[in-house]
Amino acid sequence: MMKMSQLLEPLPMDRQTELMLQYGPKDTCWAATWGEHDEPLLKKYFEKAALPGSEDNATIIEFFDCLERRWNDHAASLTLQNGKNLAVVDIAKTEDIVTIQGLQYLCNLVISSGLPFFRYHGAGSSTIEPRAYQQRLYGEIEPRADMTVGAQGSITRVGTAIRAIGIFPTSFPTITVRESAIFTNVTGYTAGTMLNRQVFSSSPISHTVNGGPFTLATDITFTPVTIYG
């Protein structure tokens, strides 16, 4: 019989997860809550962000810089063209993992045309530790944010990184956001592929329905090497 202390120990890490963490792309996610009345401004910000295009977009870079400044305990806000400010209320950050299936699918996207691409950002509340072989969020609450719609986020290239942002509206059901992922499909797990899984185990953010929107912002950075260091 297992002792209680054994049950509370973290899951043993499999070899594939170890390799993905060591050699795979670096996967970082920020979860942020925004002010109660900020949803229209946030949507407007990303509708404007879509205009400069999907490469090295200064508005997207500014958004991620803002999240990182806030994470580092500095006051951080986004200023809109009309002079109004958008301020982060609460923030969480984690560095977790791209899945095996997700990275394989990215390779297919490089080679093959006509495949569905990663356009949906999902949120959940499970604390199950992330592993490279996982193919779902374990406490997901839908709907997922469609990042190709300006008011719901964006997915772009910045440098050698994929930067994906999902905006979850004020009306999204109450949730403690402890997990995040990017998907090819709009709902469920019977079809499609999950690109990554992020878990905010120690510092989740809390969202209350009608209490303000929240965002999930993911950066997946690739680095070329001649040898694995």
Partner 1 sequence: MVKDWAYLAGLKPDEVPPLQAMIKYVRETHDTRPIEQFNQGLEDRIKAGDPSVTKSEDIMTTVGLQECIKLMVNASTTRWRYMGVGTGTTAAAIANTALATEGGTRQDMSVNGWREAIGMKLAFGAIWPELAGMNSIKEIGIFNAASGPSMMNREVFANNSLSRTAGRNVFILSVVVEFCPIA
> Which positions touch partner 1 (CB under 8 A)?
16, 19-20, 23-25, 53-55, 100, 103-104, 106-113, 117-119, 132, 155-157, 159-162, 222-229
Question: In this complex, which beta carbon is closest to partner 1, that of residue 189 or of residue 222?
Answer: 222
| Residues with Cβ within 8 Å of residue 15, at least 6 apart in sequence | none
Question: In this complex, which beta carbon is closest to partner 1, that of residue 104 or of residue 203?
Answer: 104
Reading the block at residue 127, the tokens are 């604390």
CB 195 to partner 1: min, Å: 9
Question: In this complex, which beta carbon is closest to partner 1, that of residue 16 or of residue 127?
Answer: 16
CB 220 to partner 1: min, Å: 9
Question: In this complex, which beta carbon is closest to partner 1, that of residue 79 or of residue 160?
Answer: 160
Element (H, E) at 39: helix 39-49
CB 205 to partner 1: min, Å: 26
What value does the CA radius of gyration of the chain take, rounded to a whole number of Å? 18
Q: What is the DSSP code (8-state) at residue 150? A: G
Reading the block at residue 83, the tokens are 């002079």
Question: In this complex, which beta carbon is closest to partner 1, that of residue 1 or of residue 227?
Answer: 227
Question: In this complex, which beta carbon is closest to partner 1, that of residue 175 or of residue 216?
Answer: 216
Q: What is the DSSP code (8-state) at residue 155? A: E
CB 146 to partner 1: min, Å: 13
- Give the DSSP per-residue string, 54-117: SBS-HHHHHHHHHHHHHHTT---EEE-TTS-EEEEEEEEEEEEEE-HHHHHHHHHHHH-SS---
CB 153 to partner 1: min, Å: 12
SS (H, E, C) 183-214: ECCCCCCCCCCECEEEECCCCCEEECCCCCCE
CB 61 to partner 1: min, Å: 15
Contact 196, 172 (CB under 8 A): no
